[in-house]
Structure 1
Amino acid sequence: MADSAVPLPFVDVRMPTVSAGQPVPVVLIHGWASGSVYWEPLVEKLLDGGRTVWVLDLPGYHPGEELPQDFEWTLDSAAASVAALISDRGGRPVHVVGHSMGGSVSLTLAASRPELVATVTLVGMVPAPQNEGFKKLLVSQLRQGFFDAATKAKLMNAWYGPLTDNEMAWLGKGFDVPFAILSASAMAAMTGVGPSVPGRVQAPLLVIAGTGDRVRSIDQMRDFVAVGRNRQLKAIPDAGHNVHWERPDECAQALHGFWRTSWHSPA
């Protein structure tokens, strides 16, 4: 079991009706203020492809969860939590898929515990400077001590584009986590990984990017892939920051192809 200072994240394990004979689970790690619910369209496609999927809620993000008093929310502690979960469930390598801040957690995990990671996929994220307007907006809300309705709507629009009222309510549940968790994880997201982390990742790496992403530009995505070994880019035209929500079919196809060609289970 995990050390008391490193709580296991909540995990919803989804099993396919018909297995594709691939024993490597897919671990989905959500971004800031985003809970696990926005993975649902992609989860369905991965299950249809015969993959076992673990859908995580990072520490403090699961409704009603109480964290140890000495737990400090950082990218390192979040990655340690995910590592503890993988170890607790057998310790075999998994395919890690992280969106936005979850991509930073994924890189941190792959750099620090390479034996647990078969491949890494970054969705809507590379370690590069964020949009300055987005950062200023977040900092202003953190200083006032809460996220007001107008700012939530502005952020959701930037991430998703137009949403129905029901979608806004459902997807906006990520803002319902305790403000201390929301604040600490926001700081982790804005700070990002250290400069040495990407170069320490040895696992095959795929970046899935919407060309219309307003948080990370497609040029930043291309630059990151170009300077590293063992990296690939799948650009999806006209999609935004939450490309997995907008275009789950194309994301699933990219993932299946990447896993099939980039990693083979040791004999």
Structure 2
Amino acid sequence: MLQEPPAVAALHVDVRLPAAAVKADFPPQTPVLLVHGWASTSAYWEPLATELLDAGRTVWIVDLPGYHRGDMLPPGFQWTLESAADSVAAVAARNAAPVHIAGHSMGGSVALALAARHPGLVASVALIGMVPAPPNEGFKSMLESQLRQGFIDDATRAKCMKAWFGALSPEDNRLLSRGFELPFEVLGPSGLAAMAGVAADVPEKVTAPTLVIAGVGDRLRSLDQAEAFVAASPLRRLVAIPDAGHSVHWEQPHACAVALGAFWNESRQPPA
């Protein structure tokens, strides 16, 4: 008996094109696909997206399954890193050539799963604030207790925001914490997927050049973990950014954009 293929969610994508007058070293038709993390919204990509657009790059900002306000998950959809990756792959496949994938935190796990499962769609992978490594045990225990109770309370939400972003203005805190307002049937399973991370063999299946951008002050993924991951393969490289923590793309968007641009230019394949 044939098994039904896993459900793929139709994702919302915000396509941003650079100003026509801006000239880039890398063709603007090669999109940069930005994939957000757990309990996050695409709003936190705005500072980095602005920098990339100013550099002449095309940016696609995707909302993961169930994360766009008003979206409904398809019947039979189960929220896993693999199902999320397959859903993002359907977006990447819209481009005629492989795209750059940049994922933050859980989005980095989705990016790795995508690159392992759909290598022909991926020109490069950038992991921001994430490498496959055991999560901080205290943070993991706190979140698991919240997920078991079926909701995220205000105290845990505040701890998460502080760990992810540090000090925020009230306005930025309201903007960036909207991901916690999602239905728990999305937050819960995606949170469990985030904490489980990719299987141990997934990074070894990734053949695309891979960049890790680490905030020196990241309390969720340490610089030691990032260095160990990068040392395990010649395809990987590391850029450590000072004065940044877990959300380096928000805290230091210019430095993040410069690191990405240099990586894409250096890893570009010569024309056949």
Into which bin does the TM-score normalised by the smaller protein fall?
over 0.9
Residue 36 of structure 1 corresponds to 42
Residue number among 139, 154, 158 corresponding to 1:153 in the alignment: 158
The match for 2:122 is: 117
Structure 1 counterpart of 2:192: 187
The yes-or-no answer on 1:247 pairing with 2:260 is no
CA contact (8 A) 1:99 1:123 kept: yes
**Alignment-derived partner of residue 16 in structure 1:** 18
**Is 2:220 aligned against 1:215?**
yes
Alignment partner of 1:171 is 2:173: no
Give the SS at the match of 2:227.
Answer: helix
4+ runs deviating over 3 angstroms: none
TM-score for the superposition, normalised by structure 2 = 0.94
Q: How does 1:77-156 map to 2 (within 5 A)?
A: 77-87=83-93, 89-156=94-161
**1:20-43 Cα distance to aligned partner (Å, 9 max, x none):** 251210000000001111000000
Give 1:198's aligned residue.
203
Q: Is the 8 A contact 2:214 2:238 kept in 1?
A: yes
Match of 1:7?
9
Match of 1:209, SS state, is strand
TM superposition score normalised by structure 1: 0.96
Secondary structure (helix, strand or coil) at the match of 1:146 reads coil
Q: Distance in 1 between matches of 2:269 and 2:59?
A: 18
The two structures, once aligned, show a CA RMSD in angstroms of: 1.3
The one of 77, 80, 87 equivalent to 1:74 is: 80
Residue 57 of structure 1 corresponds to 63
Q: Distance in 2 between matches of 1:173 and 1:77?
A: 23
Kept after mapping to 1: 8 A contact 2:129/2:214: yes
CA contact (8 A) 2:127 2:211 kept: yes
Letter of the 2:132 counterpart: P
Query: 1:4, 1:68 within 8 Å by CA — same for their partners in 2?
Result: no
Distance 2:270 2:152 in 1: 45
Gaps of 5+ in 2: none
Structure 1 residue 132: Cα displacement:
0.2
TM-fit CA distance, 1:229: 2.1
Question: Is 2:226 the counterpart of 1:235?
Answer: no
Q: Secondary structure at the match of 1:27?
A: strand
Cα-to-partner distance string for 1:49-75 (whole Å, 9 max, x where unaligned): 000000010010000111112100000
Does the CA-based 8 Å contact 1:210-1:240 persist in structure 2?
Answer: yes
Number of equivalent positions: 264
CA 1:266–1:112 in structure 2 vs 1: closer, same or farther (change >3 Å)? Answer: farther
CA distance in 1, matches of 2:264, 2:101: 11
Q: Distance in 2 between matches of 1:202 and 1:4?
A: 24
CA distance in 2, matches of 1:91, 1:112: 18
Shift in Å at residue 92 of structure 1?
A: 1.9
Partner of 2:54 in structure 1? 48
Q: Is the contact made by 1:30 and 1:56 (CA closer than 8 Å) also made in structure 2?
A: yes
Q: Secondary structure at the match of 1:153?
A: helix
SS of alignment partner, residue 100 of structure 2: strand
In 2, the alpha carbon distance for the partners of 1:244 and 1:265 equals 29
